[in-house]
Structure 1
Amino acid sequence: MTRTLQLAYTTFRPRPAVPGQDVLSPSVTRMRVHVGDLDLYRHVNNGTYLQMMDVGRSNFLADLGAFGLLNARGWYPVVAASTVKYRRSLTLGQRFELTTRLLGWDERVAYLEQAFTHAGHHVARGVVAGRFLGRDGSRVPAPEVIALLTGGSLDSPQLPEDVIAWARAVDVAAR
């Protein structure tokens, strides 16, 4: 519940936009592990990582000053698919950073990488395929969202091979 409240706060009272931030700039969210984040094994529950990633993506949009632009068009983000690879555990009280960056996009979705680090050590890496919907339920093509956020058109960087393979495997890649 704590991370759900944090997500609501970061979405409805976003932090100020970062001057000079663009869609390809990384966004860093600093957090601390709370007791509600833990599972019975006393480390962060795998589902909690996904909630933390929601917060990181909300801060990514806030850093771009995107909420006003998106709200004006009635667009909102949703997750089409996600995957996480865990390397180390996070435990109670540890401070960590979640770095969110846009890897690229196709006609359907935008691909983000979200990396967790603690004390300079890699903890976990998530990849998210996100899309935007209109209030009427319509799908908004990713290039339209990127154009809105950049003020013009921008070509997608080349996606990493592992992300391309994953997107095809989970059937989110543009056809």
Structure 2
Amino acid sequence: MSRMIQLLLATTRPRRAVPGMDLLDDSVTHLRVRPGDLDLYRHVNNGVYLQYMDVARSNLLADLGAFGRLARHGWYPVVAASTVKYRRSLTLGQRFTVTTRVMGWDERVVYLEQVMGRGEQHVARGWVAGRFLSRAGDRIAPVDVVELIDGAPRESPALPPDVAAWARAVDVAHR
């Protein structure tokens, strides 16, 4: 099954919500490297890591029980910016996890960290700035999305300084 089909299933037939899961809790996705994930050097192609992250972000929304609520409002997530730092290679058949967590939000975007690992080995880490759009193409304020998911207004935790600097550098931070 290609990663696009896996993403389609994670989005259209999401896994069950995790009872009591908080917006700031970690969401863990378990994956295995498939032949189509590899490049000519027989390790995972760098672009495939972004697909792994897509699946894991969909699983975060599923864990929070957010898909139905977002769909009723006609809202959906998009990536505004992302960056990945690679430390180790993944090869055919290896099992690994993608741990996704919300780091915070501002008036424009939600910031997530996604860490790929094999056991205790750190494989790669990505940061994602995500937006939510309506079917009409309007941007949805992150505070509105957080309130929809949480059921009440909530303040963002302070972003780590390196993430805030990255957000300014890629021009997604609130001005």
How would you bin the TM-score normalised by the shorter chain?
A: over 0.9
Pairwise CA RMSD of aligned residues? 0.7
Which residue of the partner structure matches residue 97 of structure 1?
97
Which residue of the partner structure matches residue 42 of structure 2?
42
Which residue of the partner structure matches residue 118 of structure 2?
118
Distance 1:95 1:78 in 2: 27
TM-score of the aligned structures, taking structure 2 as reference length: 0.99
**Is 1:52 matched up with 2:52?**
yes
Which residue of the partner structure matches residue 26 of structure 1?
26
Question: Which letter maps to 1:162?
Answer: D
Which residue of the partner structure matches residue 134 of structure 1?
134
Superposed CA deviations along residues 69-116 of structure 1, whole A, max 9, x for unmatched, are: 000000000000000000000000000000000000000000000000
Distance 2:10 2:120 in 1: 25
Superposed CA deviations along residues 9-51 of structure 1, whole A, max 9, x for unmatched, are: 0000000000010110100000000000000111100000000
Deviation of residue 119 (structure 1)?
A: 2.2
Distance 1:167 1:119 in 2: 30
Partner SS state of residue 67, structure 2: helix
Which residue of the partner structure matches residue 74 of structure 1?
74
Distance 2:91 2:161 in 1: 32
Of all paired residues, the percent bearing the same amino acid is 67
| Unpaired stretches in structure 2, ≥5 consecutive residues | none
Distance 2:75 2:98 in 1: 25
Count of aligned pairs between the two proteins: 175
Question: Which letter maps to 1:70?
Answer: L
Question: Which letter maps to 1:25?
Answer: D
Distance 2:161 2:46 in 1: 25
Which residue of the partner structure matches residue 159 of structure 1?
159
Deviation of residue 172 (structure 1)?
A: 0.2
Partner SS state of residue 28, structure 1: strand
Which residue of the partner structure matches residue 147 of structure 2?
147
* 4+ aligned runs moved over 2 Å, structure 1: none
TM-score of the aligned structures, taking structure 1 as reference length: 0.99
Which residue of the partner structure matches residue 106 of structure 1?
106
